[in-house]
Amino acid sequence: MPMPKPPTEKRQKPPFMLSITLNIAHLRVRIHCTESGCSKGIEALTALYEHSEDADGADLCFTIKSSADGIALACDGEYIWTGKEAGEVVAAFEWAFYNHTIAMLYPAFVSLHAATVSWQGHGITIAGTSGAGKSSLCTAALLHGADYFSDEYSLLDKKGYITPFPRPLQWDNNDHPAFSRQDMHDSGLFGEGSYAFTGHDGQPVTSLLWHPRHLGIAPTKMSLLILPRFDASIAAVQVEHVLRSQALMELAEEMHHKLPVQERLRELHHRIPETTRFVRIIFPDVHQAWKQVEQLLTKG
């Protein structure tokens, strides 16, 4: 007598699926999305990372799928967010993607709240709080031929090298007083992406994402650390050399990891090369500031 077949669950294949695997430093990060409304935003946010064809094994796995309450975001099976609107879930994904990835990369890498570019073989890290001018200086560098590593998460390894973490370049506001959108397009150095969501005030928000075309591939040694400060009230760019101890103290405040301050100082002191130069650049005009950086690097 033939054995009865066990009942099989009828699973409906989702009508839409985006599945990508990213290589970030030594991590493999997979993203499965079955919500078509989220896919454009997720693709725009992850476009610059190295994509892997190999779907086997992942260190982190994000899933975005529909649930009874809306669209659900999870990481490694743990619930993170549920939203009614696709853009809201994409915004939550962006936040979770950075936080989980950065946390998993430590201690091989410490993440600094800093931009990094490589120009003519020099690794330049630009650290500072929002509004200090790091994304502006980073954009100016890219317009002058630098390779892009990150505008916000600079991953410093134990040998003093920065590994690419090329999230799309974002400014605090979509329009930047020093760089018109037309100039950015005309340069041919940037692609553009975006995603839209409803802000806290109920108003629609479109987050503009610039995709630099010249990306750093291999890690770059941190040759120069810049502490920028935009100051519209001064006439000309000021460059001040900064002691290593002072730079370490300021940089300790820009680490993404929640460590005691003295531990941050130790980590930074051990990782940042002895040969790294530290400067504070106070500028009223970002283009002038970049010229000063070029001079610093070419004149030694």
Partner 1 sequence: MSLPELPEKVGNLIGEELEGLNEMIYVRPEDGASFSLNMTAASILELCDGKRSRVEIARLLADALPAGTAPDQAKISDDVDAILANFVDYGLIYADAEAPD
Residue whose CB is less far from partner 1, 265 or 297? 265
- DSSP readout, 66-111? EETTEEEEEETTEEEEEESSHHHHHHHHHHHHHHHHHHHHTTT-EE
Residue whose CB is less far from partner 1, 242 or 297? 242
Rounded least distance, CB 156 to partner 1, Å: 16
Q: Is 258 in the site for partner 1 (CB under 8 A)?
A: no
Question: What phi-psi label fits residue 164: left (phi over 0), alpha (psi between -120 and 50 degrees) or beta?
Answer: beta
- The answer for residues whose C-beta is within 8 angstroms of residue 37's C-beta and 6 or more apart is 71, 86, 87
Q: Is 110 in the site for partner 1 (CB under 8 A)?
A: no
Q: Is 25 in the site for partner 1 (CB under 8 A)?
A: no
Q: Is 295 in the site for partner 1 (CB under 8 A)?
A: no
Contact characters 226-245, partner 1, x per CB under 8 A: -----------------xxx
Residues in 268-287 at the binding interface with partner 1, rule: CB under 8 A? 269, 274
Rounded least distance, CB 248 to partner 1, Å: 7
Decide if 275 contacts 224 (C-beta within 8 A). no
DSSP-H helix ranges across the chain = 36-46, 86-105, 134-143, 181-187, 244-252, 261-271, 286-299
Question: Which member of 252, 255, 281, 289 binds partner 1 (CB under 8 A)?
Answer: 252
Kindly list the residues in this chain that would bind partner 1 in the complex (CB under 8 A).
243-246, 248-249, 252-253, 260-262, 265-266, 269, 274
